[in-house]
Amino acid sequence: MILSIKNLNIGFYDNQVYKPAIRNLSFELAAGEVLGVVGESGCGKSITNYALMGLLPSNALVTADRLELCGKKLLELNKKQWRDFRGNDVAMIFQDPMNALNPTITIEKQLVEMLSKMQKGKSGKEYRQMALKLLDKVGIPAAHLRLKNYPYELSGGMAQRVVIAMALACKPSILIADEPTTALDVTIQAQILNLLDQIRIDSNMAVIIVSHDIGIISEYADRIQVMYSGEVVESGTARQVTTNPYHPYTKGLLESLPGQGDKVPKSDLNTIPGVVIPIERQVEGCRYVERCPNAQDICHTTPPELIQISNNLSDLSRCHLRG
Amino acid sequence: MSDFSSQTQPAHFSGNQKFLTKVKLLFFRNNPIANFALVIILLLLAIGYIVPIILNLDPFGTSSELLLSPGTMSSNEVYYLLGTDDLGRDLFSRLVIGARSSLNIGFFIVLVSAFVGTSMGLVAGVYGGAIDAFIMRLTDVIMSLPSILLAIVIVAVLGGGLVNAVIAVIIVSMPRYIRVVRSVAMSEMKKQYVVAAQSFGIKRFRILWSEILPNCRAPVIVQSTLGFSEAVLDIAALGFLGLGARPPAADWGAMLADARTYIESAPYLVVLPGVCILITVLCFNIVGDALRDRFDPKLGDSK
């Protein structure tokens, strides 16, 4: 396994008060595998990624029984080791490509800076050639012209391809894609996801793809992890989660997709009532209870465990109700 | 049809047109006052650096003709455009050489204070913590006193003379650069492209140098333009108080101080260097404000 996490807990100190954000998160990821992480805004998807990158603020507290990536115990890394680890072993692409690129520097300079960090001791001309190859690899036409461009001169899709090229310059073992298509047009979304998939196949790289759109995730992920308010509520193969969902929250997400909830398309989409509870709030029972259509008395008093729901060991759900 | 197709042909610029385009970029759209000020600054630069080469000016040579009015001919048929001072020195020569001296000193002060101030501001904004606290308390102390008063104190400690006056003005100029750059650095550090750079394992110093510094360009240029006028004014003020350039140096401030005695009998001795200081400071301030407007994202590219 390239990534192994057991009982990861993340919290933040706010005026000496500890506020938990992620609770008992566990999963594993193999080389070449795609893990899709789904959930509403504020459920802790990005916090987990930032923890894997060592980019959480200084007031964060990260604990885990096991947190290993590419054979390195992440909780034991010092600042310098983190810096060497980032980029070399793990890289990240962000949801808004326009903000992920420096507006005052040309694409060439930004790519060359990445390459010179990763592969020292080459000439400027060699770095430029490598940058051109990377842009070709991510499907940017007339790459030699694009190198001279500033980010504002590129379209959203082009800019995201440049960000992917920068991530590829690192040759990472794991690529974390934090909502890589949110800021893009629907037509461009598929292109970017296909590109990521192609790169994964070519380099046998593991990918964690984060999104709030379970429809998109289901097409590209091998396994899906559904998060709600800092907890994994359902986890399993993409097929299991999307065709036979167990947790009411997963069902709600799938039913809210256009044309999914009912056989006959209708004018009103299904919605999940209420809002996600704040990530730091402590709750007696299930964290989804206030929004759950099937809530029982036990749901209000006892927090559910993550239990196996099929013959497959990785198919898990956090619900008291058996189906 | 042919008309339409000819209109849609790509424009091929001649060398002259390209030059004119570059010249246009130098000026401000919809701001005639700033453009006028910019022309005056360019004239000042020409007067300060080109005129002394063309004309054989002697700011120190004395003549027997003392306090000659502007535009009069001396007895030995030498024409004094702006007259002579109390020692018979050509006032035009002294003002032109004074312009060059003021511009040189202004540029030097801006260069050093911008470099040191920007460096300290970047370090404070990027590294934070104790370094930031120390640098900011230092700037608070400097900024809590009026700049000219602090400059006088520094010159009093170091001793008079132009070099010490320049050091004093550099010290009092730095805090503005530190503050401007620190605020930019702190806001940029929160931007996603900096987080992206960190996620690729780029060192903090390299982030400071190649990610954040380019974004400080606009505010530093604006502050430098405004700082230039302040530097000229402060050096002139110190010269006026006898703490700057030593006689017989052609310094506008010192010329003002020397001319005080003749304010009634030869008012041009006071008016001319005073007007030079006024025009220089005013024009640089106007251009500085125009640059601030141009670089302000809230105003777009209207200026």
Q: Between chain A and chain B, how many beta carbons pairs sit less than 8 Å apart? A: 65
Query: Is A167's CB within 8 Å of B200's CB?
Result: yes
8 Å CB contact between A105 and B194: no
Residue B12 within any structural domain of the chain = no
8 Å CB contact between B66 and B86: yes
Please state, as a whole number, how many other Cβ atoms lie within 10 Å of the Cβ of residue B119.
16
Determine how β-strand A206-211 pairs with β-strand A174-178.
parallel
Q: ∠ at Cα B185 (B179, B190), nearest 5°?
A: 135
Residue B19 within any structural domain of the chain = no
The shortest C-alpha distance from A190 to chain B (Å) reads 23
Q: In this complex, is the C-beta atom of A81 within 8 Å of any C-beta atom belonging to chain B?
A: no
Q: In this complex, is the C-beta atom of B285 within 8 Å of any C-beta atom belonging to chain A?
A: no
Residue B8 within any structural domain of the chain = no
Mutation pick from A88, A101, A102, A175 vs chain B, by most beta carbons of B within 10 Å, is A102
Contacts with B, A 237-296, CB within 8 Å: none
Q: A18 forms bridges with which residues in the sheet?
A: A13
Chain A residues in contact with B214 (beta carbon < 8 A):
102, 104-105
8 Å CB contact between B168 and B146: no
Of residues A241, A208, A252, A290, the one with CA closest to residue A40: A252
Residue B24 within any structural domain of the chain = no
Residue B22 within any structural domain of the chain = no
The shortest C-alpha distance from A101 to chain B (Å) reads 5
Which of B191, B201, B211 is closest, CB to CB, to A87?
B201
The shortest C-alpha distance from B95 to chain A (Å) reads 41
- Read off the tokens for B54: 């063309």
Q: In this complex, is the C-beta atom of B144 within 8 Å of any C-beta atom belonging to chain A?
A: no
Q: In this complex, is the C-beta atom of B246 within 8 Å of any C-beta atom belonging to chain A?
A: no
Look up the CATH number of the domain holding residue B293. Answer: 1.10.3720.10
The shortest C-alpha distance from A37 to chain B (Å) reads 19
The shortest C-alpha distance from B295 to chain A (Å) reads 13
Query: Is B192's CB within 8 Å of A92's CB?
Result: no
Which of A83, A109, A163 is closest, CB to CB, to B201?
A83
**Residue-level pLDDT at A72:** 82
Query: Is A85's CB within 8 Å of B201's CB?
Result: yes
Chain B residues in contact with A169 (beta carbon < 8 A):
200
Query: Is B210's CB within 8 Å of A105's CB?
Result: yes
- B2-41 b/e (C-beta count within 10 Å ≥ 16 → b): eeeeeeeeeeeeeeeeeeeeeeeeeebeebeebbebbebb
Which of B195, B201, B211 is closest, CB to CB, to A117?
B201
Q: Considering its fold, how many domains does chain B have in total?
A: 1
**Residue-level pLDDT at B3:** 46
B204: closest chain A residue by CA: A83
Q: In this complex, is the C-beta atom of B130 within 8 Å of any C-beta atom belonging to chain A?
A: no
Q: In this complex, is the C-beta atom of B218 within 8 Å of any C-beta atom belonging to chain A?
A: no
Q: Which long-range contacts (CB under 8 A, 24 or more apart) does B187-190 make?
A: B188/B125, B188/B212, B188/B215, B189/B125, B189/B126
The shortest C-alpha distance from B191 to chain A (Å) reads 7
Which of B192, B199, B217 is closest, CB to CB, to A96?
B192
- Below-70 pLDDT ranges, chain B: 1-27, 29, 56, 58-60, 62-81, 246, 296-303
Q: ∠ at Cα A174 (A170, A179), nearest 5°?
A: 100
Contacts with B, A 88-107, CB within 8 Å: 88, 91-92, 94, 96, 99-105
The residue whose two tokens read 């962000």 is: A94
**Residue-level pLDDT at B80:** 62
- Read off the tokens for A195: 């590109």
Q: B266 forms bridges with which residues in the sheet?
A: none
**Residue A181 phi, psi dihedral angles, 5° rounding:** -115, 0
The shortest C-alpha distance from B63 to chain A (Å) reads 58
Distance CA A117, CA A283 (A): 46
Helix pair B217-240, B252-259: axis angle to 10 deg: 30
The shortest C-alpha distance from B192 to chain A (Å) reads 5
Chain B residues in contact with A91 (beta carbon < 8 A):
199-200
8 Å CB contact between A60 and A11: yes
Containing domain of residue B252, as a range?
A: 31-302
Residue B260 within any structural domain of the chain = yes
The shortest C-alpha distance from A280 to chain B (Å) reads 23
**B235-263 pLDDT per residue, tens:** 888 888 888 876 777 878 888 888 878 88
Residue B112 within any structural domain of the chain = yes
**Residue-level pLDDT at B9:** 42
Query: Is B200's CB within 8 Å of A87's CB?
Result: yes
Query: Is B195's CB within 8 Å of A55's CB?
Result: yes
- Below-50 pLDDT ranges, chain A: none
Q: In this complex, is the C-beta atom of A163 within 8 Å of any C-beta atom belonging to chain B?
A: yes
Query: Is B192's CB within 8 Å of A94's CB?
Result: yes
Mutation pick from B190, B191, B200 vs chain A, by most beta carbons of A within 10 Å, is B200
Residue B68 within any structural domain of the chain = yes
Chain B residues in contact with A84 (beta carbon < 8 A):
201
Query: Is A117's CB within 8 Å of B200's CB?
Result: yes
The shortest C-alpha distance from A304 to chain B (Å) reads 35
Q: Which domains does chain A have, with CATH numbers?
A: 3-89+172-317 (3.40.50.300)
**Residue A162: how many CA atoms within 13 Å on its side-chain side?**
32
Which of A92, A101, A167 is closest, CB to CB, to B193?
A101
Chain A residues in contact with B197 (beta carbon < 8 A):
102
Strand ranges of the sheet holding A34-38, from the earlier edge strand across to the other edge: A90-93, A174-178, A206-211, A34-38, A223-228, A231-237, A316-318, A306-308
